[in-house]
Amino acid sequence: MLPYGHQWIEEDDIEAVVKVLRSDWLTTGPAVEEFEAALAEKVGARYAVAVANGTAALHLACLAAGLGPGDSLISSPNTFAASTNAALYCGARPAFVDINERTYNMDPDALDRFLGHHTGESKPKAVVPVHFSGQPCDMERIASIARRADLVIIEDACHALGAKWRDSQGQWQKSGSCSHCDMTAFSFHPVKHITTAEGGVITTNRSDLYEKLKRLRNHGLVRDPAHLQNGHGAWYYEMQDLGFNYRLSDLQCALGTSQLKKLDSWVARRREIAAAYDHLLGDVDGVVIPYQKENTYSSYHLYVIQVESRRKVFETLRGKGIGVQVHFFPVHLHPFYRNHFGFRPGDFPIAEAYYEHAISLPVFPQMSDDDVHRVIREVKAAARNA
Ligand SMILES: *Cc1c(COP(=O)(O)O)cnc(C)c1O
């Protein structure tokens, strides 16, 4: 089965990890800060905090944003449940606004309407735009709407490492640079752009958030004498917040630093594969290729087509050894969300209609041209027979 996504581990990655295994530090040694510095520089952010996974990144971002009971977090229904689960971990409520029917990203107009007409007991405190499939959201509009409502902005860029967009001044803005948000979360799960096995990072330009995130990652502990409330001696540290053990190990960070060197060429390869799909599937009856908004540079974590008979096309392709997948079943329709928060089918009709027809085709840098053309042949045949 040709999977829809796959990591790429080369000899230099293995050597980087083995080097750490032979060193004095397995966790929280020099490789962590090296990876954080390299990642921050790559995406153009001042600070980066490496954590155990992308979900932990979102959780800590929500805690640093001060989310708690009585607050709500607004996101897109077209995402992985972790984007809003992060709010639930803090005791806050989830809220959604529908997607744009072409980009499949959060619709800024829907956000504006939601904030204008919002009623209910919880107060919107944060918004989490998700750069679905790797195509950046309209952050200029989302940020201006969110700032008016005093929301903390946390970008879920788990699909968008290596993506960028051009603002109205003509400047390219990289995902993760936090030019239009407070914090950005990334994941290094093996299907994402680079991997540390499990892993994630939060980037920010705000020193207050950076300090808070670092503390929350490590049980809320403070060791710096300048910030201690009590002084006992050189051994002393104190817990000032309820934090977690969300650390990322040196082994994993060494892998991340090695992988990061390949990001640009891997994103370029993803875009080459997407261009081949666009070119050869663009005029196939019954197949809609993903719209790319002008001034966006997608990093194509996913390549999603829309087809009429989704189940049939999906099963045909799986039967032919093409490991297609579906992203995403709308979050608000998961039983947990329906049972606990009362969401219903019909609440977010564009995301629901999108889901009914969506199929993610394989896209990952190590795919050969033969693989790409096999997928194209099989998609054409499946669409013809559906
Ligand atoms: C992968 C992903 C996450 C969670 O990342 P993990 O590292 O698996 O915890 C969150 N949001 C989105 C959109 C993702 O794709």
pLDDT in tens, 215-272: 999 999 999 999 999 888 999 999 999 999 999 999 999 999 999 999 999 999 999 9
- State the pLDDT at residue 119: 72
Q: How confident is the prediction for the chain on average, in pLDDT?
A: 97
- Nearest ligand 1 atom, CA 191: 1
- Residues in CB range of 11: below 8 A, 6 or more apart: none
pLDDT digits (tens, 9 = 90+) for 316-366: 999 999 999 999 999 999 999 999 999 999 999 999 999 999 999 999 999
What pLDDT score does 201 carry?
99
Q: Reply yes or no on whether the pLDDT at 120 is more than 90.
A: no
Which atom of ligand 1 is nearest to 132's Cα? 13
Q: Which of 7, 55, 88 has most ligand 1 atoms within 8 Å of CB, for mutation?
A: 55
**Residue 82 CA, ligand 1 centroid: distance in Å:** 6
Question: Residue ranges of the domains in the chain?
Answer: 2-260, 263-385
Please report, rounded to a whole number, the percentage of residues in the chain having pLDDT higher than 70: 100
Nearest ligand 1 atom to the CA of 188 is: 7
pLDDT at residue 386 in the model:
86
Q: Ligand 1 centre and the CA of 199: distance in Å?
A: 10
Ligand 1 center–CA 377 separation, angstroms: 31
Determine the length of the chain. 386
Enter the pTM of the model.
0.98
Using left for φ > 0, alpha for ψ between -120 and 50, and beta otherwise, residue 286 falls in: left
Residue indicated by tokens 């045949």: 381
CATH fold of 2-260 = Aspartate Aminotransferase; domain 2 (3.40.640)
CA of 55 to the centre of ligand 1 (A): 6
CA distance 151 to 257: 33
pLDDT beyond 90 at 118: no
Q: Return the sign of the alpha-carbon dihedral for residues 338, 200, 263, 171.
A: positive
Let me know: does 146 contact 161? Beta carbons within 8 Å.
no
Atom in ligand 1 nearest the alpha carbon of residue 200: 7
Q: Which fold has domain 263-385?
A: Aspartate Aminotransferase, domain 1 (3.90.1150)
What value does the CA radius of gyration of the chain take, rounded to a whole number of Å? 21
pLDDT in tens, 16-33: 999 999 999 999 999 999
Q: Give the model's pLDDT for residue 195.
A: 98
Q: Which of 105, 158, 326 should be mutated for ligand 1, with most atoms under 8 A from CB?
A: 158
